[in-house]
Amino acid sequence: MMKMKSKIINYLFITIFFFFVACNNSGENKDTPTTGKITIAVDETYKPLIDSEVDTFESIYKYAKVTTKYLPVDSAFHLLMNDSIKLIIVPRSLNSEELEQFKKWEIVPKINKIAYDAVAIIGSKDLKDSTLTIKEIAEYIDAKNNDRTKKAMKIVFDNNNSSTISFIKEKTGVVQFSSNCYALDSNIAVLDYVGKHKNTIGIIGANWISDKDDSTHLNFLKTIKVFAISKDENSEAFKPYQAYIAQKTYPLYREVYTLSKEAYSGLATGFTAFVASDRGQRIVLKFGLVPATMPIRLVEIIHEEL
């Protein structure tokens, strides 16, 4: 009888102990760098790349779940700055106003450059030109330009709030788009439209045309042309190939960042570390972008005449 009482007391003690432990831990963070659930916001330009990063990360860490919201860049920043999300992946760092807000929160933002990207200019197969200068791009999209030949060209991009559009405006100095510019609803829609319509130019992220293992993207490449871009008419033109992005000779290159407000080492930290790791950076390389945290080797092949 005494033994039975002792067992009951021990059971009650253990039960109460775990009850208090559970209560004490209820306010603690439930995710770790390799376990738990998190939702991140990503500039929709990087969907092919980040889909692959997330799939690989989750295949390695079975107890980690990363849900991705693909949004225009302004929407991603809005979620970060309004405390709705801990991690975003975007083509710019925090500006001075955003950094000041982090100071008010007394949070040190975790800013990591993960890749060098590029904006690609694509065109329909019927177009004779294969190169464009920055000035010529501006002439096609600028509302102030009255050149009828330029105005006859249709310019399509993914959406009105696209980061590629903000970037092109910044590079060309154009303030207001011409009436021959049209917003579609995705990068895939831009590829499809340019492939099916004559006299058309599209503006997209380079990673949408760079995955050589994706048969869908390879099929798109058969129906479009990718323009080589030069700074001006006296400069050499380059296509958005990795070597030219790495050397910054392709004029429309840009940088990609992870921005986190996570104040502890949780899943946002773990996923960022994975993308910046050797394996994560190899995925960046596969998608035609240039890794930011691992060295790359550029090889020049010289063909000697026989």
What residue segments make up the domains of the chain, in order of their start? Answer: 36-116+254-291, 117-246
Average pLDDT value for residue range 142-168: 90
Neighbours of 295 (CB within 10 A): 6
Specify the range with the lowest mean pLDDT, choosing from 40-49, 88-97, 146-155, 216-225: 216-225
Task: Please check whether residue 268 is in contact with residue 85, taking contact to mean a CB–CB distance below 8 angstroms.
Answer: no
Q: How confident is the model at residue 24 (pLDDT cuts 50, 70, 90)?
A: very low
Q: How confident is the model at residue 204 (pLDDT cuts 50, 70, 90)?
A: very high
Coil/strand/helix, residue 45? helix
- pLDDT number for residue 298: 54
- 109 has pLDDT over 50: yes
- pLDDT number for residue 148: 87
> The domain at 36-116+254-291 falls in which architecture?
3-Layer(aba) Sandwich (3.40)
Assess whether the region 36-116+254-291 and the region 117-246 belong to the same CATH fold: yes
> The domain at 117-246 falls in which architecture?
3-Layer(aba) Sandwich (3.40)
Q: Which residues contact 255 (CB under 8 A, 6 or more apart)?
A: 91, 92, 93, 113, 115, 116, 117, 292
